[in-house]
Structure 1
Amino acid sequence: MSPQRTVADQLTATLGVVLGTPDVPLRLRGWDGSQAGPVGAPVLDVRSPQALRRLLWSPGQLGLGRAYVAGEIDVEGDVFATFAALSSAGRLAGTGPMAAPTPRERLRLLGLALRLGAVGPEPAPPAEEADLGRGLRHSRRRDAAAIAHHYDVGNDFYELVLGPSMVYSCAVWASPETGLDAAQEAKLDLVCRKLGLTEDSSLLDVGCGWGSLAIHAAQRYGATVVGITLSGEQARRAAKRVAEAGLTDRVDIRVQDYRTVDDGPFDAISSIGMAEHVGRAHLPEYAARLRDLLRPGGRLLNHAIAWNAGTKTWDPDTFIARYVFPDGELVGLGEMVGVLESPDLEVLDVESLRRHYALTLRAWVQRLEENWEGAVAVAGEGRARVWRLYMAACALAFEAGHMGVAQVLLQRTGGEQPPLRRTDWT
């Protein structure tokens, strides 16, 4: 007679079915205290049968993410080691969308759930899952709702994670020892130099966040800046920071959609971490609108995350689409450059910052861990878990080369000639 299988044994089998591999590179601890899996491997703590029920209804990345956000599963020790092991296994390995279990695998999954008493109605998703309501994707109203879901988590929460720079995009690191705050200041200065800002420059900062680039451009370069965002919380904190810096005569922060801007033309336009929210189908409109807001000879800097190694479509049923960037959509760098470039917009420079974003994300996770209790107090444990999972997983994706990030610098034709070399900003 074979020995009775423990809860942990059956959970390991369950995860193997979901991943499509018998080789689960984790040690699982069941809610009864039993353990199974390779000794010394990262430990995944399954605290409730509810986690298994979620996997029964959503047997993939989304089910795992929901169980983690709800606190029904947890990691023990280094989150990066656990997520790296999980993402290397079976269907989660590679760059494509996670394949669904076969009908036979689903039957086996049902049998395991029955033995563990986990069969039942589909659990409601955690409250942190996005619900944008109905409406056309990338309409102005729905885009505003998507931005609010991500950025209106609370300024105090973001301050704990981002630190005093309040910059929520890839920093530029001279070395891994640079430190996050110095790396973010270096990024802001690099953008200003690429745009050729001077005391006579007017800058439109599309997706201005908490105003860090606008303040830097006005303080260090004397530029006049219009910063726009769809997040009311961001705008309020940005305006407060501008006032505290004594820059209200040079910086105007607005809650405004880029499609409704009628100022200009501007000498320079920055769009940092905003194009990911536009949507593939709307990128030509986005590029044309920014081009029209530039004076002849003016420069545009587009800083955006990209899929690496080919064209992919955005899967709305992944964890990141449901919890982090609803309606967001990434495209490849080649596609982005192709959309931005036109007879009126010449590409001056393309700079990859993939490794820089991995360092930035690891620094954000470290700050979240260091300020965990405070983050939970201001945003709730579920929201803090969302950000821990998303930032750690993205750091690993950048390190593996599955995703990249690049700054594309362009200049509108009809004005002064661009520099002969990149020495203006390097």
Structure 2
Amino acid sequence: MENAALRLKELAERLIGAELPVRIRGWDGSEAGPPGAPTLVVRDRRALRHLLWKPGELGLARAWVAGDLDVDGDLYETLDRMAGFIWERGEDARTLRQAVRDPEFRAAARKLLALSAPFLPPAPPPEERRRRGRLHRHTKHSDRRAISHHYDVGNDFYELVLGPSMVYSCAYWAAPDATLEDAQRDKLELVSRKLGLEPGMRLLDVGCGWGSMAIHAAREHGVNVVGVTLSQEQAAYARKRIAEEGLTDRIEIRVQDYRDVRDGPYDAISSIGMAEHVGSERYLEYAHDLHALLKPGGRLLNHQIARRPQTDESAYSVDEFIDAYVFPDGELAPVGTTVSLLERAGFEVRDTEAIREHYALTLRGWVANLEAAWPEAQRLTSPGRARVWRLYMAASALAFERNRIGVNQVLAVKTPEDGASGLPLRTREWRA
């Protein structure tokens, strides 16, 4: 008997320099590892080739998306147990990439592979987006391609994951046992109150998605809305919803880059889960553009995921899995950087609310929706794409829970020269 699991366990423990915290089931049916622990299933030895040819997170991601790696047991518990040696290794520890390149490790892995498979580089899964280098990042053309990769995978798939609200950003939970729909409605209302929306005002919704914020603002607050997105599928879906709501006289949805909006001034701007796509090189330009589109006294609500500060903030870093499979060219910045750039563009930042625990609850809700309709999710997109979303959302939920990343709502004002911001004296009442 080959006993692939035992040999894989030995390789893994050499790799991480510690006892493996999960069980392993090999392609031959053998198992090894701590009893009762969740099981990492290696369905095909090709998973090991993915890791050897592309050491690190991307190799593991390719094996997962291809279906060569799976989990038998609770996915959250498995990721939580593995986080310490995949995502949270200390600066002085050996990285996964360095360990995989160790000659002794590679020799042992080749012996295992040689039992029945040639040592050839496996092709990446078709769901992977080919990277083009930093020179091509955040042009209007590249941003359209990146947005299409992420959002144009089928509105029916997103309906299944997001639920009827069709809101793809952090909800705002009044209580942990609230429904996802209630929490998303409360988030849209919170944004509306922070912006001080009143009948007759003009709102620009940057990155309007499937139209949920635009519909809420027009229906509940009587404002006129322009929503812009780079996704053709989102725009078509949003327009259909707006027509069904009888709001076509109040809402216009455009397939347009925010950099091409020229019909200001607006009374308010909402940017909810869009700024992560802007990029560090373009962020000050983004802030200047939105500032120019607001009338004096107008408010911006910038809702954005943030990472923790790095030791060397000049270094460029990217999450390989996220970049290749989820948000191409997406970048996260510390909230302090975001606030500083908004201020440099002329905004007066008046409030920052951190809501990272809310995003963990939101993501767990989306994962539950996905898992409850797993066969249908695979049919609507592809088995690989469904696996991408399940891993991405579950790992992200843990990242928010562990404070590896956060999410913040930053309220900023284009304060006029006389200093009259229009905000109330008491904070977080939002209306003058």
Bin for the TM-score computed over the shorter chain: over 0.9
Residues 273 and 304, structure 1, Cα contact 8 Å, conserved in 2: yes
Distance 2:407 2:90 in 1: 16
Check 1:102–1:131 CA distance in 2 against 1; reply closer, same or farther (3 A cut). closer
Alignment of 1:395-406 (within 5 A): 395-406=397-408
Percent identity between the aligned chains?
54
| More deviation, 204-213/111-120 | 111-120
* TM-aligned CA deviation for residue 121 of structure 1: 2.0
* TM-aligned CA deviation for residue 102 of structure 1: 4.5
Local SS of the residue matching 1:75: strand
RMSD: 2.0
Residues 207 and 274, structure 2, Cα contact 8 Å, conserved in 1: yes
Whether 1:127 and 2:126 are equivalent positions in the alignment is yes
Check 1:187–1:103 CA distance in 2 against 1; reply closer, same or farther (3 A cut). closer
Encode CA deviations 1:308-353: one digit per residue, 9 max, x unaligned: 2546655346111111011100000100110111473111110001
Partner letter of residue 40 of structure 1? G
Alignment of 1:262-341 (within 5 A): 262-310=262-310, 315-316=317-318, 318-341=320-343
Alignment of 1:111-260 (within 5 A): 111-117=108-114, 118-131=117-130, 136-260=136-260
Distance 2:316 2:170 in 1: 21
Encode CA deviations 1:357-405: one digit per residue, 9 max, x unaligned: 0000011000000011111110011000000000000000000000000
* TM-aligned CA deviation for residue 110 of structure 1: 3.2
Residues 190 and 425, structure 1, Cα contact 8 Å, conserved in 2: no
> Which residue is equivalent to 1:386?
388
> Which residue is equivalent to 1:15?
12
- TM-score, normalised via structure 2 length: 0.93
- TM-score, normalised via structure 1 length: 0.94
Local SS of the residue matching 2:168: coil
Q: Please list every run of 5 or more consecutive structure 1 residues that lacks an aligned counterpart in the other structure.
A: none
Extract structure 1 runs of 4+ deviating beyond 6 A.
none
Check 1:70–1:21 CA distance in 2 against 1; reply closer, same or farther (3 A cut). same
Residues 171 and 358, structure 2, Cα contact 8 Å, conserved in 1: yes
Distance 2:310 2:266 in 1: 34
Local SS of the residue matching 2:169: coil
* TM-aligned CA deviation for residue 5 of structure 1: 7.3
Check 1:94–1:337 CA distance in 2 against 1; reply closer, same or farther (3 A cut). farther
Residues 53 and 119, structure 1, Cα contact 8 Å, conserved in 2: no
Local SS of the residue matching 1:142: helix
Alignment of 1:409-420 (within 5 A): 409-414=411-416, 416-420=421-425
Distance 1:420 1:201 in 2: 22
Local SS of the residue matching 1:424: coil
Encode CA deviations 1:139-179: one digit per residue, 9 max, x unaligned: 00000000000011110000000000000000000111011
Check 1:393–1:259 CA distance in 2 against 1; reply closer, same or farther (3 A cut). same
Residues 113 and 119, structure 1, Cα contact 8 Å, conserved in 2: no
Check 1:98–1:232 CA distance in 2 against 1; reply closer, same or farther (3 A cut). farther
> Which residue is equivalent to 2:71?
75
Partner letter of residue 22 of structure 2? L
* TM-aligned CA deviation for residue 239 of structure 1: 0.7
